[in-house]
Structure 1
Amino acid sequence: MSALLERRGISDRALDLADKVEAFVRDVVAPFEQDPRQGAHGPSEELVADLRDRARAAGLMTPHIPGGTGHLTQRETAAVLIRSGLSPLGPVALNTAAPDEGNMFLLGKVASDDLKDRFLKPLVSGDARSAFFMTEPDGGAGSDPSMMQTTCKPDGNHWVINGRKTYITGAVGAKVGIVMAKSDDGACMFLVDLPHPAIKTVRILDTIDNSMPGGHAEIEIDNLRLPADQMLGAAGEGFRYAQVRLAPARLSHCMRWLGACVRAQEIATDYANRRHAFGKPLIEHEGVGFMLAQNRIDLKQAELMTLWCADVLDSGAYGTTESSMTKVAVSEALMRVADNCVQVMGGQGVTADTIVEKVFREIRAFRIYDGPTEVHKWSLAGKIARDWKKTQS
């Protein structure tokens, strides 16, 4: 794994931490990949608690926020999160998984000290999970957040929120919620303790992916009444805060799933070298060897694209364009890698005997969440047109 990771610009401390994370994921977490405490909607709370206890014992809980306060740089975070992704259970165990990782980043940037103490600390310690309530059913916010239908109205020193949300990852079992709603001033965000009687789970969706605890839920919010001091930041700034969260969160997805595809490549490579057909190992057949060779190219390009975007964010730039480009390039490259791994392994590749088929399913979902490829390309095309117009004035 180390040979695949660009080490320049990453501190010795972060590299040492990344090596410890890799050893932990390979030696401690990976043996749980066949654990029966996993279901159609993700690992059970019992399994999550078991894995996190082991991460704490190893001193590796939430490793990208060492000491529970200062966040690693994005480039250093890449070194750690790529390694955490070597098993689909790695991010769950180490508390580097979505949506918690992105929610912790947002609260660290925007929340008041009181809100950090109440809501962020239990997330960083791994004692609580969280959910981000933004996406809505048909007619509401999705790739276009301006279509938001969930409303929030002031009532004295409180706000009252009503609406419906869908594809809410980890809502079931979460203790912290970030709810996005529309006021007369614009979008707002609120922090809420979960479970809450005004936030009802309509159903848990059956989806192609199942690596995240709690699955993805459809939610009804019925007269949720919250004190004004539980608003995150200022009224009307919700869309801006969403971008503060989403740009690095897209990149974190790239990091974690890059690690998963590195592992899938390892498994497919081992299979291709051990399995024989037509008088020689599969790896010696060009049809197989070339797929694994292309995978190596795609993995390296995905890594370099991820680190480039990390550098942009570390420079203090907003990073929306760069994160869109990276999300498209990496998700599409990793889809090719995962598909090739399945193909190389043939029948074995579509069984649950290894994590390869799971990685394939998870990467397929990755091409959609945090913005489908086509939405990012549409946004990038719009920027290209705007940039051209500037040159004509």
Structure 2
Amino acid sequence: MSGSELAPRIRDFVEQHCIPAESATLAHDIPGLDRVILELREKARAAGLLAPQVPRELGGLGLGWADCVPVFEEAGRSLLGPGALHCAPPDQPNIHLLDRHAKPAQRTRHLLPLAAGAVRSFFAMTEPAPGVGSDPAMVRTTATRVPGGWRLDGRKWFASGARGAAFGIVVARAEEGISLFFVEAGMPGLTLVRDIGTLDAFGIGGHTELLLEDCRVGEEALLGRLGQGLALIQQRLEPARLFHCMRYIGLASRAMQLAQDYCRERQFFDQPLAGHQLVQALVADAHIDLFAARQMTAHVARRFEAGEDIRHESSMLKVFVSEAVSRVADRALQLTGAHGVSEDGPISLITRELRPFRIYDGASEVHRAAIGRRAFHRNLRP
């Protein structure tokens, strides 16, 4: 089934099941969010809609990158949609990474249950200053050889999905270079210090601060090869950014649709808000942003599916879409006034959910610097 054929079914599922299940009370409620997501996920499984991006041999629908564009946009229209369809981070990019690099025993132990939606995972790269942020090379967490494996020591925060996860992927620096290691929940030396309250509130498993203190893992915990970590991180981040763009376009589009509906009904100076040119201009700018964002996302998805290098285009896409969807949501909130600011409707929650994307997966300023450097070093034509 193609993405264009599947997208209407996803839209109906999101409208009938995911959007009605949304509630401001789920914000930052990690156990409550898990409970609702699992209930929705069983409905998606029964409807044959689960895991559209997961390869068929792992139990998913096996859609290619280009076919995922309309499907993920429809899933992303709800704050709960990506989780319900098992295409939310951090599991979705972790599945992609493990499918490419997990050894046979790691596939059995970690990848297969993760792809089936039986467990959750986390990804721990970011550290408090002066550790790693937007530059993965700044990792300070260490991996030291010990008999039978490795000792991990360091502090992570914004470990996406850590609360309630069965295992995670930890970025650490070994003598041979930055490497990735599996760490299982509850093992000695791994402490979940706190859940970090953030502007966005519907991330599955939240954002957690972790302490790794004499945390011992076996030789089998190494993902990929020693010193290969930076390459693996990049292989995880590029599709993650791409999928983020697809989902967040859907969320921003929903916010503007709600604003348009509101403007048709709300009277202002004896006529609907929709009749005022300033309102029409805000709506027009939102449509322009979303049109450009969709075209860029589809273009990069096609190139990625063709096996082309998308590092430069991925950076440009991430900067543009992260800023475009924030502009769209901000206009939607402005158009709906007090109603938009309140939690009586979802626009305020959507606005908060979208804003951090300008920081997550590399801040806009870092991507702009990289884009500019490549333009000069490669003498790229604008």
TM-score, normalized by length of structure 2? 0.95
- C-alpha distance in 1, partners of 2:50/2:185? 22
Q: Distance in 2 between matches of 1:98 and 1:211?
A: 11
After superposition, give the CA deviation of every residue in 1:211-240 in whole Å (9 maximum; x if it has no partner).
112211111011111111221110000000
Number of the residue aligned with 1:306: 297
Q: Tell me, yes or no, if structure 1 residue 374 matches structure 2 residue 362.
A: no
Write the distance in 2 (CA, Å) between the matches of 1:210 and 1:41: 8
Q: Give the secondary structure class of the aligned counterpart of 2:233.
A: helix
1:157-196 to structure 2, matched below 5 A, reads: 157-196=148-187
Counterparts of 2:107 and 2:101 in 1: how far apart (Å)? Answer: 9
Q: Which range moves more in the overlay, 42-51 or 262-271?
A: 42-51
Instruction: Provide the rounded CA distance (Å) in 1 between the counterparts of 2:282 and 2:168.
Output: 43
| 1:85 partner amino acid | G
Q: Could you tell me which of 14, 17, 27 is aligned with 1:39? A: 27
- AA of the residue aligned to 1:60: L
- The alignment status of 1:205 with 2:196, answered yes or no, reads yes
Say which is worse superposed, 68-77 or 53-62, in terms of deviation: 68-77
SS in 2 for 1:165: strand
Q: Deviation at 1:69?
A: 5.1
- How far apart in 2 are the matches of 1:40 and 1:126? 21
1:73-109 C-alpha deviation (Å, 9 max, x unpaired): 2111212211110101101111111111111111111
For the 8 Å contact 1:44–1:213, the answer to whether it is kept is yes
1:385 aligns with 2:376: yes
Q: 1:128 aligns with which of 105, 119, 127?
A: 119
Give, in whole Å, the separation in 1 of the partners of 2:338 and 2:277: 19
Mapped pair 1:142 → 2:133: yes
> Which of 16, 19, 34 is residue 8 of structure 2 equivalent to?
19
Deviation at 1:176, TM superposition (A): 2.1
Pick one of 343, 348, 353 that aligns with 1:352.
Answer: 343
User: Using the alignment, how far apart are the partners of 1:74 and 1:144 within structure 2?
Assistant: 26
- Residue 186 of structure 2: SS of its match in structure 1? coil
**Which residues in structure 2 correspond to 1:248-287 (within 5 Å)?**
248-287=239-278
Cα deviation, residue 372, structure 1 = 0.9
- Contact kept, 8 Å, 1:61 with 1:125, in 2: the verdict is no
Q: Compute the displacement of 1:264 (Å).
A: 0.8
User: Letter of the aligned partner of 2:9 in structure 1?
Assistant: K
Q: In structure 1, how many angstroms separate the alpha carbons of the residues matched to 2:45 and 2:349?
A: 26
Name 1:62's counterpart in structure 2. Answer: 51
Deviation of the 1:358 alpha carbon: 1.0
Distance 1:29 1:44 in 2: 12
CA deviation after TM superposition for structure 1 residue 193, in Å: 2.2
* Cα distance, 1:41 vs structure 2: 4.7
- Distance apart, 1:191 and its partner CA: 1.6
**Deviation string, structure 1 residues 305-343 (Cα, Å, up to 9, x no partner):** 111111121121231111110000111111110000000
In structure 2, the CA distance between the partners of 1:159 and 1:318, relative to structure 1 (3 Å rule), is farther
CA separation in 2, counterparts of 1:269 and 1:312?
A: 34
Distance 1:22 1:65 in 2: 19
Runs (4+) off by over 4 Å: none
Tell me if structure 2 keeps the 8 A contact 1:41–1:213.
Answer: no
Higher alpha-carbon deviation: 41-50 or 266-275:
41-50
Identify the match of residue 152 of structure 1 among 134, 143, 147: 143
| Deviation at residue 183 of structure 1 after TM alignment | 0.6
1:76 correspondence with 2:67: yes
Q: Distance in 1 between matches of 2:345 and 2:43?
A: 23
Aligned residue pairs total 378
CA distance in 1: counterparts of 2:292 and 2:195, whole angstroms = 36
Q: Residue 28 in 1 paired to residue 17 in 2? A: yes
* Inter-partner Cα distance in structure 2 for 1:316 and 1:39: 38
1:44 shift after superposition: 2.8
Asked if the contact 2:33/2:202 (under 8 Å) is kept, the reply is no
CA distance in structure 1 between the aligned counterparts of 2:179 and 2:59, rounded to whole angstroms: 26
Match of 2:310 among 295, 312, 319: 319
* Equivalent of residue 340 in structure 1, options 331, 356, 366: 331
Write the distance in 2 (CA, Å) between the matches of 1:188 and 1:69.
Answer: 29
Whole-angstrom CA distance in 1 between matches of 2:224 and 2:55: 25
Question: How big is the shift at 1:47?
Answer: 1.6
Structure 1, unaligned runs of 5 or more: 1-11
Aligned counterpart, 1:297: 288
C-alpha contact 1:41 1:206 (8 A) present in aligned 2 = no
Letter in 1 for 2:342: T
Q: Which runs of 5+ in 2 are unaligned?
A: none
SS in 2 for 1:40: coil
Q: Distance in 2 between matches of 1:341 and 1:290?
A: 12
Q: Secondary structure at the match of 1:72?
A: coil
